[in-house]
Structures are given as C-alpha cells and as structure tokens.
Amino acid sequence: MNIQPRSYDHPDAVKLNDEVQLEYIERYQDGGDQTYLDPTMFDPPHGLYLLAYDERERPVATGGWRAMERNEEGYADGDAELKRMFVVREGRGQGLARRILCLLEEDARAAGRTRMVLETGDKQPEAIALYTSSGYTVCEKFGHYRTYENSICMAKPLQES
C-alpha cells in the first residue's frame, strides 16, 4: 500500500468521504456525519490527512487528525482528534486502518499533541475493536455528537506522563 498525505478536499479524499457518509447513513439510518470540517483543519503542523492507494493507484483508505483545544464541546488543550478513518469494503482485513492510525498518532505526537481522541458509534464494532486493541479507552463525551446516546468517545495519551 502507498500511503500519502493529501488535502481533505483532494478529489480522492472527497470520493472516500462520500463513501463513508453512505456507510454512516446505512448503519445509523440518518443523514451521515454532520461534524463541520474545514480542509485547512488538517493542514500541518495542526493536522494531517492521509490516503492509502492500492497497487492500481485507487484510493482505498483514509484518515486524519486535527488539533483541538479546550472549548465548550468538551475538548481538552492538546487534543488531536481523529477524523474520517475509513477503509473501502474490498480493502478491509488487510491492516490498513491500523497502519494509518499509527502514522496519525506518530504525527500528532511529533506535533506536540498530548492526547488522541475520537468519536465513533455503537453500530461500528470494527472501529471499536480497532481502537480498543490500539490502547484507546472510553472517555467523557465531547464534540458534535456528545449528547447522542449511540455516540462513543475514546482517548489515548500520546505523550509519556
């Protein structure tokens, strides 16, 4: 797999974002993820957006992080929020999400972020299993979906304490 940094508004990122939104609609029977994301939120050194390509140069996986600070949505100073982790159906089971997650954690750590946080839902058992096996634990809810019953928020320290 070829994993490359790309902008959040890159055509391949838009294509995969459209696919993940369809999957959210299918799983949750709603309008998809309504979290506001500006492409500049992922610009280094305050974030990073990655795309994985297969041997035929087709985009097959994506993920990014953005810097967040303490605010009324429950974030803490030094947070790096994981966003848009997604692997196309035919690319699943190959460890792509775990590889992207590790690269994003390394980058956020190098940028001085102290904690990686994420929000997922109770109808995404594969995501919950990935994050749990990668050292994430359930934390106090934050972000756009903090008041939703099926929202699950998780966190992992990035710096040695």
Q: Bridge-partner residues for 86, per DSSP? A: 62
Average pLDDT, the chain: 95
* pLDDT at res. 15: 97
- Is residue 58 in a domain? yes
Assess if residue 67 is contained within a domain.
Answer: yes
Query: Rounded mean pLDDT of 77-84?
Result: 97
Query: pLDDT-based confidence at 159, cuts 50/70/90?
Result: confident
Helices (H), 29-139: 96-110, 125-133
What pLDDT score was predicted for residue 161? 59
Taking the CA atoms of 68, 19, 103 and 153 in sequence, report the sign of the dihedral they define: positive
The reply to whether 8 falls in a domain is yes
Q: What is the pLDDT of residues 108-157, one digit of tens each?
A: 999 999 999 999 999 999 999 999 999 999 999 999 999 999 999 999 99
Per the structure, the complete domain to which residue 96 belongs is given by: 2-114
Q: Which residue has the higher pLDDT, 102 or 29?
A: 102
Stated pTM of the model: 0.95
The angle subtended at Cα 41 by Cα 70 and Cα 33, nearest 5°, is 85
Phi and psi for 3 in degrees, rounded to 5? -105, 125
Confidence of residue 29 (pLDDT cuts 50, 70, 90): confident
In a domain, 130, yes or no: no
Residue 153 lies in a domain: no
Q: Which of 24-33, 77-86, 95-104, 144-153 has the lowest mean pLDDT?
A: 24-33
Residue 72, domain member (yes or no): yes
Find the CATH number of the domain harbouring 62.
Answer: 3.40.630.30
- Structural domain total, the chain: 1
Whether residue 29 lies inside any domain: the answer is yes
Mean pLDDT confidence for 56-78: 97
Whose tokens are 């190098």? That residue is 110
Q: Is residue 155 part of a domain?
A: no
**Percent of the chain with pLDDT strictly greater than 70:** 99
